[in-house]
Structure 1
Amino acid sequence: MIKEARLMQEWGSIPKGEGLISKATYFADIQSIYAHPDGLSQDTLMYRVYSTTSGSLLWGQTILEPVLVHGECNMTRGHFHQRRDQDEYYWCQQGEGLLMLMDDTGNCWCEKMKPGSLHHISWQWAHRCINTGKEALSVIACWPADAGHDYNLTFPIRVFKEANQIFLKR
């Protein structure tokens, strides 16, 4: 409730609608995914997710803040789908970032995200969003309702920003 009250102060109200859920993720919730999981206040807002909850296709919006953790760019947890035959689409609405993709063997690559870019995510790829810009990265997603999410994975590549240059590290 405290986090929700803080969001209400920041935004005036929390967007809600029939069949819509919202979730805020703070540094305390995901600090373990970063190479150096310290240095930020535990209540730093990292990203917000809004999504539908019914129908055969679900729609969502993820808004990643332009936060750096010891130079590492802010990112979502990333996931495979539990049903490994389900594709997903991402459409970048605002900001700049990367869509990191990984296959079953750990082979990893990135696609640039910019306003208007559309990304097909095959069922066989794990995926995560990474904000590399100076403003919030807003991504709209569409996926089958029965796809599920498997967050039990580690991406072998990390994305850092130094002097406005983006670089990848293993």
Structure 2
Amino acid sequence: MKITEAKWIENFKQGKIDGESVEVSYKMYAQAKSFYASEDASLPQDTLMYTVYTCQTKNDHTQNLNWGLTVMEPVCVHQECNVTRGHFHEDEQCDEIYVCQKGEGLLLLMDEKGQCHAETMREGSIHHIDGTLAHRLVNTSDSKLEVMCCWPVNAGHDYKRVEEMPFSVRVFRENGKITIKENR
């Protein structure tokens, strides 16, 4: 019997996922401006901030899993490190797993009271995200940050809660050092 690796798994290693069931979305600076403390007029509106690949299952079984890959560019907005939008899960019983594939960054986690903590992401690190916590990725390096993720089909994404209660910290790269500051 010959064992072969699935094509989309191989492409994970190359920083993308291909296939007919894969959805790809691109977040440009024009769509991400509200994620940062202040706008940066020097940053072109069409600057790619991150790409998300999602391989969704096509049935109604809630125990099935979705797979994704987020590729974050090494961009700063007025020294604030590049971040994803961040979200809670609609179904808080659904946890999520992140695996840092390439690069370095932080996984910001926030509880329902707005308390944040950060986990360092390095190549090969694995992160369990409790379904009750909001989560967002932060690219703190000068190279791309690539993070694989796996979550239940029925988890859902609740972006509105993060808009109403933004993450209570922001991450900056200042004079070559990463600093975490309270969001005021």
Q: Give the Å deviation of 1:155.
A: 0.3
Partner of 1:155: 167
Compute the TM-score of the two structures, normalised by the length of structure 2: 0.83
Aligned residues: 157
Distance 1:128 1:86 in 2: 16
Distance 1:51 1:95 in 2: 20
1:38 to 26, 37, 40: 40
Q: CA RMSD in A?
A: 1.2
User: Rg: which structure is higher?
Assistant: 2
Distance 2:158 2:176 in 1: 33
Partner of 2:76: 68
| SS of residue matched to 1:74 | strand
> Any gaps of 5 or more consecutive residues in structure 2?
1-15, 59-63
> Any gaps of 5 or more consecutive residues in structure 1?
1-13
Distance 1:47 1:86 in 2: 24
1:49 to 23, 47, 52: 52
Q: Give the Å deviation of 1:124.
A: 1.1
1:16–1:22 Cα contact (<8 Å) kept: no
Q: Find out whether 1:98 has 2:99 as its counterpart.
A: no
Partner of 2:11: none
Distance 2:146 2:80 in 1: 19
1:22 to 21, 24, 30: 24
Distance 2:151 2:159 in 1: 16
- Greater displacement, 63-72 / 37-46: 37-46
Q: Give the Å deviation of 1:54.
A: 1.0
Partner of 2:147: 139
| SS of residue matched to 1:139 | strand
Distance 1:92 1:142 in 2: 12
Q: Give the Å deviation of 1:83.
A: 0.7
Q: What amino acid maps onto 1:87 in structure 2?
A: D
2:17–2:69 Cα contact (<8 Å) kept: no
- Greater displacement, 151-160 / 89-98: 151-160
Deviations 1:28-53 (A, max 9, x none): 11101100122311100000000112
Q: What amino acid maps onto 2:50 in structure 1?
A: Y
Partner of 1:3: none
Distance 2:117 2:17 in 1: 34
1:49–1:61 Cα contact (<8 Å) kept: yes
Partner of 1:125: 133
Partner of 1:7: none
Distance 1:41 1:150 in 2: 28
